[in-house]
Amino acid sequence: MIFRKTRVSPLAVAGAAAIAAIAMTLFSCSPAREPPAAVDGVLDLGGWDFDRDGPVLLRGEWRFFPGVLLSSGEAAIRSGAGTRKVPDFWKGADAAGVDGRGCGTYRLEVILPRTESGLALRYTTESTAFELDANGTLVASAGVPAASSADAVAAYRPGVARLPGPAAALDIVVRVSNHEYRSGGIWRAFQLGRESRLASGKRLSDMLVIGFASAVAAMAVNSLFLFFFRRRERSYLFFSISALIIALRALVTGEYVFVQALPGVGFDTLIRIEYVTAFLPLPLIELFLIELFPGRLGSRKKLAILLPNLPFILLIPFASLPVLTRSVLLFYPFLAASLVVVFIAVLLPALIQRTSGSVMIFAGFLVVAIAQANDSLFTSFIVNTGNILVFGFAAFILIQDLILAKRFTWALNEVESLSSELSTANALLKEENERYRIVQRHLEDLLAEKETLIKEVHHRVKNSLQIVSSIMGLEAHRSSDAELVRSYGAMRDRIRSISLAHEKLYGSASLKLIDLGDYVHGLVRQFETGFSSAGEKPGILVDVEPVPVPMDLCIDIGMLLSELVSNAFRHAILPRGRGEVAVRVRLEGKVLVIVVSDDGPGFPSGFSPDNLNSLGFRIVGSIVRKRGGTIGFPSSVGGTVEARIPFALQSEQKKEN
């Protein structure tokens, strides 16, 4: 893919945005010719063709009854009404209240060109609560208008209301109240026309608002993802948040699609959300520009630019609605002053130094500033131009995309310049990996050979020990000395215990650990076989936990058990020709407990292994001392020897190491 550098004129971008704004104005649902205006409470539409000329705004002079809410019949007979021009914004005591608050009734007589049916009224926001009667029938409302603030319920509910017909004239009575906003009145003139056309226009407006909000939100999410992947570029974060707020503003102004989707949202919450979208974009745009051109402002200057926004932001959750809505009158000059300060402190130095993207950002900043100012004035009923922030923000997003494209092109050039180096490094890495695999296979072969040799060694040691045991058995058969035969038998038991350890290790997968339970059972079976061959019927009870132990410890335990079990048989079982020996091995915490007991007469009074010349007990004592353990002789029926040897499981040993 080949990218070519192109220069886009910022003036062209600004011009495109201006053309788009003009197109929006032309696209709005306006009549084919200039409609008449009401005069002294009467609007003569006798020469108006709704099918040809389109809808008409009910603007001009309406009759007005301040401070009272009248029904259609009461308004028709009530005298003394003055006139007010609609759109109308109360100030002072215009509605018999103070500071633009109060209530009142508007009345307009509309003369139709003929007996009409299928007409409707389209409305957006009228003060903060209204009810509309047409020829004595309630056809539209938003909230509940009332003379007192305690009884009034404020609401915004834009919509299209069908009028009763057929009728040759319309008597329209609108009851309006305002106790929450800075100004009341009929803010937006009602639009009279064919129901089908007005309903289509309403649906189209809603779709445009939802489409715009969705598109801007998608762009915001895209910038947010860029920020997550590149946290240093905080400009993406501020751009994303400001875009989300602009998307939200489209939903909480104009057609108030937000309220249509969530009708349960209260008026107080709605207004505060609207002012969030009015006050927050300015500091976010300031932060965006500061991050886009970093290093130009110190911490104090940044605070000096951002802190003045704080009072307006704090008003949103804490101020009453009359105070909050009036604060926008202070926000307008502050907005203009802030834009000038940001331009001088951030943009102007970037323009002078010809920083990349500064000219385009300035053009987009200028378009957004103009559009934001226009929309703020329009939604505050100061001008009647229309919303153009959609196109201003679209121009700003376009410029942002151009800057990102320029950065991407530069990054792509850097990637291409590094690609050859990366290819060389990859080739070298591939060679190193191949050498590593060769060495790894060689080590695996050596390891397998080592394991085979170790198994072979254990197997040969086991066979050699068995040969020695067999030779000693033959020598014992040839000897007539009973003491020598017993010595040969003891030696064979010791050799068998060592041989069995090598046999178990030979069959083990780890070649390091032996299952103590399996080993002791195998050792006991050898004892049973040995004593059975002598014509005895030994009874051995075995209770051993399956504990993995190293080979050297296993051999020591085997030697210890060989001596203790053989001793029990020789002194407790054989003299009586009956009896039972119990072997128990268990792990108590970090101590291995080995108990060998019999049901014989037990040890004699004053018995002490230290005073004996028995080789077996000397071997037992030596093994226990070597392992740092203790040996005891608990008092019980028969003879019992208990050895306690410190021992930690392999997993615990690894943790300690």
Cα dihedral sign for 90, 94, 95, 99? positive
Rank 6-20, 97-111, 226-240, 497-511 by mean pLDDT and report only the highest.
Answer: 97-111
β-pairing, 102-116 vs 42-44, is: parallel
d(CA 454, CA 356): 71
- Specify the pLDDT at position 168: 92
Listed range (58-62, 72-76, 439-443) with the worst mean pLDDT? 439-443
- Specify the pLDDT at position 461: 58
In single-letter form, the type of residue at position 437 comes to R
d(CA 608, CA 632): 10
551 pLDDT exceeds 80? no
Structure token digits, residue 38: 């009401």
532 pLDDT exceeds 80? no
- Specify the pLDDT at position 553: 83
Cα dihedral sign for 34, 40, 41, 43? negative
Tell me the average pLDDT of the chain.
79
Per domain, the residue ranges of the chain are 10-21+202-412, 35-195, 479-656
d(CA 502, CA 458): 5
- Specify the pLDDT at position 410: 76
Structure token digits, residue 52: 């040809």
Q: Half-sphere exposure of residue 222, counting CA atoms within 13 Å on the CB side? A: 10
φ, ψ of residue 103 to 5 degrees: the values are: -150, 165
Rank 173-187, 358-372, 566-580, 627-641 by mean pLDDT and report only the highest.
Answer: 173-187
484 pLDDT exceeds 70? no
- Specify the pLDDT at position 561: 81
30 pLDDT exceeds 50? no
- Between 599 and 457, the more confident residue is 599
2 pLDDT exceeds 60? no
Structure token digits, residue 296: 């130009």
Q: Is 524 helix (H, G, I), strand (E, B) or coil?
A: helix
Helices 10-27, 358-379: crossing angle, 10 deg rounding: 20
Enumerate the β-bridge partners of residue 194.
119
- Specify the pLDDT at position 269: 94
Asked if residues 126 and 104 have their Cβ atoms less than 8 Å apart, the reply is no
- Specify the pLDDT at position 162: 95
Q: Half-sphere exposure of residue 148, counting CA atoms within 13 Å on the CB side? A: 2
89 pLDDT exceeds 80? yes
Q: How many CB atoms lie within 10 A of CB 40?
A: 10
Mean pLDDT of 553-569: 79
d(CA 255, CA 208): 10
- Between 307 and 539, the more confident residue is 307
- Specify the pLDDT at position 58: 96
566 pLDDT exceeds 90? no
Residues in Cβ contact with 378 at an 8 Å cutoff, skipping those fewer than 6 apart? 384, 385, 386, 387
Mean pLDDT of 79-108: 92
H helix and E strand count, the chain: 20, 18
What are the pLDDT digits (tens) for 602-648? 777 766 666 656 677 777 888 888 888 888 888 766 788 888 989 87
Domain 479-656: assigned CATH number: 3.30.565.10
Nearest-5° Cα angle at 623, 621 to 628: 95
Q: Which of the four pLDDT bands, split at 50, 70 and 90, describes residue 451?
A: low
Specify the residue for token string 């309220």.
259
What are the pLDDT digits (tens) for 322-380? 999 888 888 878 877 887 888 888 888 888 888 877 888 788 778 877 877 776 676 66
Under CATH, which architecture does the 10-21+202-412 domain have?
Answer: Up-down Bundle (1.20)
295 pLDDT exceeds 70? yes
316 pLDDT exceeds 80? yes
Closest CA to 540 of 582, 504, 599, 502: 582
d(CA 73, CA 340): 56
Under CATH, which architecture does the 35-195 domain have?
Answer: Sandwich (2.60)
- Give Cα separations from 243 to 212, 274, 347, 368, 636 (angstroms): 11, 15, 20, 12, 87
- Give Cα separations from 236 to 228, 296, 397 (angstroms): 9, 18, 12
The percentage of the chain sitting over the pLDDT mark of 90, rounded to a whole number, equals 27
Q: Which of the four pLDDT bands, split at 50, 70 and 90, describes residue 29?
A: very low
- Specify the pLDDT at position 546: 84
494 pLDDT exceeds 70? no
- Specify the pLDDT at position 170: 95
Q: Is 90 helix (H, G, I), strand (E, B) or coil?
A: coil
Nearest-5° Cα angle at 22, 19 to 25: 155
- Specify the pLDDT at position 485: 57
- Specify the pLDDT at position 303: 87
d(CA 88, CA 82): 13
Cα dihedral sign for 31, 35, 41, 47? negative
Listed range (20-24, 143-147, 420-424, 544-548) with the worst mean pLDDT? 20-24
Asked if residues 201 and 29 have their Cβ atoms less than 8 Å apart, the reply is yes
Using CA atoms of 11, 12, 14, 20 in order, give the dihedral in degrees to the nearest 10.
Answer: 160
- Specify the pLDDT at position 391: 67
Radius of gyration of the chain (CA): 49
7 pLDDT exceeds 50? no
